């Protein structure tokens, strides 16, 4: 029997591949127990067989060897379609099985689910997984017909969505205000319902939701109190229209710089996530790669590999900083501590937000011998003090992004842009440390599709490379914030993303990064 790793889980399973892996183990255990139960009894098995059929249909292409069999669980939980169906089966379908089987023979299965109750996904997890798929479609402009067939960005996932899956995605898109997306998902659900012969969802059921979605979509164009351009529509009412193609205004030349609008920031973020180039060839030709053995004696025999990603602000990627074994150990250290990532709210509080879907753990230099070495490495590379005990730097945040995991554009500085009345809620220790003068972020994994770190105001993209790190200053030398450092984490389309964030504070850097009154430095 497969042993299951149990850790504290709080209705955020979809946001971490580490927790999805635990879920994968649990379902395998459940399926094994179900087979044992089937051998003991042949009554009330319709729901059990239905569940088993859903399980095997999810891996139909893999079982028929139409696509390569995944050699590891990381690939399986990094597959957003498999992850969505895994959560749906355990959050919804398992309830039907449990309710149908209440005899004494069911005790082994009941005990198993009770023992691992905190690991079982909830309806909230299913909603989060659905929104993650919707986010992927929106960001990467995925072809929904291909997604329904199990393809994402040209890569077969070995998972085919059912009419019931597509109907659920249509409902969630509608609820979230993605009306055009909802209609497209529901159209795919109609096609699939016909193909399945109403097996997982009936054509009439889907048609009812489809009609409502079209009505709501078209009513937006009748309203005078809104700007319909702010909504997800096809650009025109659908009733009486022969064309189903969205009216997409051709995007003008990308706008970069400190004063671009929020709309342009978001457009640049999504374009960069898709791998589009926003800078001219002339601008990109000024970026260089080099070997540096002068920074510190540590790099005399093995020079530091530097690749410039941006010049203003200066953003660089250091390659091959951590070894494979160091990266893997960092993830092992962090995994038991993972919890849903928070974002800052008013009056010094923190909240869970859809703007950031990941899970993180906080690890200090005294938590493991490797951590002390990594802190020293960061100090050697950056020339800045990383003394946590004296509040020169924060303890490290190790984050794991699951299906659709992302972080919308934001700044890393915490204090410099706050009003005096806001600062009264900041802890005195935070004020003593000063603001986050610099950020160094290690990539602890490669990502199959998506997951870039992008800077919308300067048109820069940094793609995850296991063992490398990206570095930039959040503050100028005069202590003012640098608004050009706006950055975001693109949704993970396929795979898993792990990072380790080092935030270095102003305190302790007086003689390492000297002040300068020039506002351009």
CATH label of the domain that carries residue 158: 1.25.40.10
Residues 340 and 468 in one domain: yes
Residues 493 and 408 in one domain: yes
The alpha carbon of residue 78 and the mean position of all alpha carbons in its chain are separated, in whole angstroms, by 11
Q: Report which of 393, 429, 413, 392 is spatially closest to residue 508, judged by C-alpha positions.
A: 392
- Domain annotation covers residue 381: yes
Cα dihedral 260, 265, 271, 273 in deg (nearest 10): 140
Which residue range is the domain that position 139 belongs to? Answer: 53-63+75-103+113-224
Residues 294 and 400 in one domain: yes
Last residue in a domain, options 209, 224, 239: 224
Q: Which neighbouring-strand residues pair with 315?
A: 310
CATH number at residue 384: 2.60.120.620
- Domain annotation covers residue 35: no
Residues 217 and 281 in one domain: no
Residues 349 and 441 in one domain: yes
d(CA 408, CA 392): 27
Residues 369 and 447 in one domain: yes
Last residue in a domain, options 224, 246, 263: 224
- Per-residue pLDDT tens, the chain, 521 aa: give them: 333 333 434 446 556 777 788 888 888 888 888 887 777 666 566 777 888 888 887 766 555 555 554 445 677 778 888 888 888 888 888 887 777 666 656 677 777 777 777 778 888 888 888 999 999 999 999 999 999 998 888 887 778 899 999 999 999 999 999 999 999 999 999 999 999 998 999 999 999 999 999 999 999 998 888 888 888 888 889 886 544 544 444 456 789 999 999 999 999 999 999 999 999 999 999 999 999 999 999 999 999 999 999 999 999 999 999 999 999 999 999 998 988 655 454 555 554 455 556 789 999 999 999 999 999 999 999 999 999 999 999 999 999 998 888 999 999 999 998 888 888 888 888 899 999 999 999 999 999 999 999 999 999 999 999 999 999 999 999 999 999 999 999 999 999 999 999 999 999 999 999 988 887 77
Residues 321 and 464 in one domain: yes
Residues 57 and 203 in one domain: yes
Pair 443, 499: CB distance under 8 Å: yes
| Residue 54, pLDDT score | 80
Which residues, including other chains, have CB under 8 Å from residue 382's CB and lie 6 or more apart? 438, 440, 471, 504
Kindly report, residue by residue over 272-319, the tens digit of the pLDDT: 999 999 999 999 999 999 999 999 999 999 999 999 999 999 999 999
Give percent of the chain above pLDDT 90: 54
- Domain annotation covers residue 489: yes
Angle at Cα 307 formed by Cα 306 and Cα 308, nearest 5°? 120
Residue 363 phi/psi, 5-degree rounding, is: -135, 130
| Residue 162, pLDDT score | 92
* Global confidence as pTM: 0.82
| Residue 11, pLDDT score | 46
- Domain annotation covers residue 233: no
- Domain annotation covers residue 18: no
- Domain annotation covers residue 455: yes
* SS3 assignment, position 140: helix
- Domain annotation covers residue 231: no
* SS3 assignment, position 243: coil
Residues 80 and 196 in one domain: yes
Residues 396 and 280 in one domain: yes
Pair 477, 514: CB distance under 8 Å: yes
Residues written for the chain:
521
Q: How many domains does the chain have?
A: 2
Take residue 259 and report the two structure tokens written for it: 């004063």
Residues 183 and 294 in one domain: no
Say whether the peptide bond before residue 313 is cis (omega within 30 degrees of 0): yes
| Residue 283, pLDDT score | 95
């Amino acid at each position: 029997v497969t042993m299951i790793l149990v850790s504290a889980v709080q209705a955020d399973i979809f946001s971490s591949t580490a927790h999805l892996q635990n879920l994968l183990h649990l379902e395998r255990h459940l399926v094994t127990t179900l087979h044992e139960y089937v051998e003991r009894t042949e009554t009330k098995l319709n729901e059990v067989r239905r569940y088993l059929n859903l399980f095997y249909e999810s891996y139909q292409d893999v079982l028929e060897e139409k696509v390569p069999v995944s050699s590891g669980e990381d690939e399986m939980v990094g597959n957003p379609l498999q992850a969505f169906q895994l959560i749906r089966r355990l959050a919804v379908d398992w309830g039907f099985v449990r309710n149908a089987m209440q005899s004494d023979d069911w005790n082994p299965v009941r005990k198993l689910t009770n023992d691992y109750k905190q690991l079982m996904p909830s309806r909230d997890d299913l909603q989060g997984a659905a929104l993650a798929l919707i986010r992927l479609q929106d960001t990467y402009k995925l072809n929904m017909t291909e997604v329904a067939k199990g393809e994402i960005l040209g890569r077969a996932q070995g998972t085919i969505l059912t009419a019931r899956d597509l109907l659920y995605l249509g409902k969630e898109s509608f609820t979230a205000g993605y009306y055009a997306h909802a209609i497209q998902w529901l159209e795919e659900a109609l096609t699939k319902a016909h193909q399945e012969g109403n097996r997982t969802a009936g054509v009439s059921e889907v048609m009812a939701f489809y009609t409502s979605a079209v009505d709501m979509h078209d009513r937006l164009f009748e309203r005078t109190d809104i700007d319909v351009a702010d909504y997800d529509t096809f650009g025109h009412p659908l009733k009486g229209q022969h064309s189903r193609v969205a009216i997409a205004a051709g995007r003008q030349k990308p706008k970069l710089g400190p004063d671009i609008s929020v709309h342009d920031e978001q457009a640049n973020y999504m374009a960069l996530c898709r791998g589009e180039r926003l800078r001219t060839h002339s601008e990109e030709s000024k970026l260089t790669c080099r070997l540096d053995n002068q920074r510190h004696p540590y790099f005399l025999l093995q020079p530091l590999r530097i690749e410039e990603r941006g010049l203003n602000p200066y953003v660089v990627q250091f390659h091959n900083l951590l070894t494979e074994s160091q990266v893997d150990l960092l993830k092992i250290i962090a995994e038991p501590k993972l919890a849903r990532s928070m974002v800052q709210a008013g009056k010094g509080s923190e909240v869970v937000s859809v703007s950031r879907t990941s899970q993180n753990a906080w690890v200090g230099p005294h938590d493991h011998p490797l951590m002390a070495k990594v802190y020293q490495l960061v100090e050697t590379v950056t020339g800045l003090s990383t003394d946590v005990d004296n509040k020169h730097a924060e303890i490290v945040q190790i984050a794991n992004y699951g299906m659709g995991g992302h972080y919308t554009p934001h700044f890393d500085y915490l204090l410099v842009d706050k009003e005096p009345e806001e600062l009264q809620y900041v802890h005195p220790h935070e004020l003593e440390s000063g603001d986050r003068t610099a950020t160094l972020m290690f990539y602890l994994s490669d990502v199959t599709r998506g997951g870039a770190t992008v800077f919308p105001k300067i048109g820069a993209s940094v793609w995850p490379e296991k063992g490398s790190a990206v570095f930039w200053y959040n503050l100028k030398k005069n202590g003012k914030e640098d608004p050009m450092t706006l950055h975001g984490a693109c949704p993970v389309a396929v795979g898993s993303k792990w990072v380790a964030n080092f935030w270095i504070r102003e305190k302790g850097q007086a003689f390492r990064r000297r002040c300068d009154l020039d506002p351009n430095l």
